[in-house]
Structure 1
């Protein structure tokens, strides 16, 4: 279900982002609208993405999702509507790739968290999902790839 996890040091990355706190049952509607809004701001400001779009989550979802929809960029985006410039901090992370339909992501996360606990690693608390291959790239969910990452305490 997931690739072999690895530990990696990642540099800080600039992002254009929108912060959202939404009911869990409405996540897909808000995530899609937020992504569209960030993409539109980048088009209007003639800024190109420098990597796959991602979500940066501040807590494990329960009845709500508290997260940012982000697109990595090389230059700061000017504030536009809800879109603002931000940065993902440099960190030592645990990372893996889940392959398949998004409906299987919760099980991928369980497998990943089990590995993190087995390695006796301590998460900082936030985590990311980067959508490296998705519905925009392939109609076949078996091709979809989502990078899961968790900053670690060092």
Structure 2
């Protein structure tokens, strides 16, 4: 799927964990964050309002400032490292990547090409991992093959 869709987004309450970590530890840190988010949802009786997301506030060669979160229907209190926040409202473009994340750069490139002639990024993009359901305990062994992953990429724009 190579389409770019322009949309007007409403603010979305979230619970998330933001941390600066070495890029080499990214997969492990995201897994731990997903499990911690799931536990807060369970303990608080909070139902997710969609699939979890990852938003890179900065991404360097060695270190990344990454936020792993889950949308919630109503604002909810965080606990420990889990903080309440929201994904921004406003104009955004969205594309979908099908398959493993070794080729996710193709989706980022589609958005970058769109931006060159249609708009300007107004904040960090986020990836929505549609194959992960935080209504159940995260278990990578139960997830589909990466070839079957569906990831939305959303970029706020002006």
Q: In the alignment, which residue of structure 2 is the partner of 1:102?
A: 101
Structure 1: runs of 5+ lacking an equivalent: none
Write the mapping of 1:2-151 to structure 2, written as runs, cut at 5 A. Answer: 2-117=1-116, 119-133=117-131, 138-151=143-156
Q: Counterparts of 2:87 and 2:106 in 1: how far apart (Å)?
A: 25
Deviates more, 1:119-128 or 1:131-140: 131-140
Q: Counterparts of 1:45 and 1:146 in 2: how far apart (Å)?
A: 27
Q: Counterparts of 1:127 and 1:46 in 2: how far apart (Å)?
A: 29
Aligned length: 151
Superposed CA deviations along residues 47-101 of structure 1, whole A, max 9, x for unmatched, are: 0101110012213443222121110001233231101111112120011000001
Superposed CA deviations along residues 98-144 of structure 1, whole A, max 9, x for unmatched, are: 00011111233223312322x33100131100001256775232221
Does the aligned pair in 2 maintain the 1:16–1:70 contact within 8 Å? Answer: yes
Does the aligned pair in 2 maintain the 1:42–1:77 contact within 8 Å? Answer: no
Q: Counterparts of 2:71 and 2:129 in 1: how far apart (Å)?
A: 12
Q: Counterparts of 2:43 and 2:155 in 1: how far apart (Å)?
A: 32
Structure 2: runs of 5+ lacking an equivalent: 133-139
* DSSP 3-state at the match of 2:80: coil
Q: Counterparts of 1:136 and 1:48 in 2: how far apart (Å)?
A: 23
* DSSP 3-state at the match of 1:58: strand
Deviates more, 1:27-36 or 1:70-79: 70-79
Superposed CA deviations along residues 6-46 of structure 1, whole A, max 9, x for unmatched, are: 11001000001111111111110111111110111010001
Q: Counterparts of 1:54 and 1:28 in 2: how far apart (Å)?
A: 14
